[in-house]
Amino acid sequence: MSDNLEVCEIDCIHDEILSTVKSEMPDDESLINLADFFKNFGDTTRVKILWALSVSQMCVCDIAVLLNMSQSSISHQLRVLKSNKIVKNRRDGKIVYYSLTDEHITQIFKQGLSHIRE
């Protein structure tokens, strides 16, 4: 074991705490889905897109210019985010605008940003 790792020096099981936590723990499928959800925030390009969309709805062309990337790269990332229900789109004539799915996404994003700025 590493000397920097803090561990208990004795086995001391706290049955009441274990019981409480176990009764409130979500099922495995929910936790897998939650881990998959957070994977979407693990890519810098997707995080930049989410930041931009937290300010305003945007079309692929605008996001591509903002991030100095190809429309095809942006489109790919938006497809990933849309398939995970993090962004949605709407068509206005020949233009497709993207926005965050709901306020939950905005709050999660802003909370994460606030945390790393502390």
Length of the chain: 118
Position with higher pLDDT, 8 vs 57: 57
Instruction: Output the pTM of the full model.
Output: 0.80
Give the model's pLDDT for residue 10.
84
CA–CA gap between residue 52 and residue 18 (Å, rounded): 42
pLDDT of residue 88: 97
DSSP, res 84: T
Residue 69 backbone dihedrals phi, psi, to 5 degrees: -135, 165
- Spatial distance between the Cα atoms of 81 and 37, rounded to a whole number of angstroms: 9
Q: How far apart are CA 78 and CA 63, in angstroms?
A: 10
- Determine contact, residues 77/46, Cβ cutoff 8 Å: yes
Average pLDDT value for residue range 91-100: 95
Convert the pLDDT of each residue in 26-77 to its tens digit: 999 999 999 988 998 899 999 999 999 999 999 999 999 999 999 999 999 9
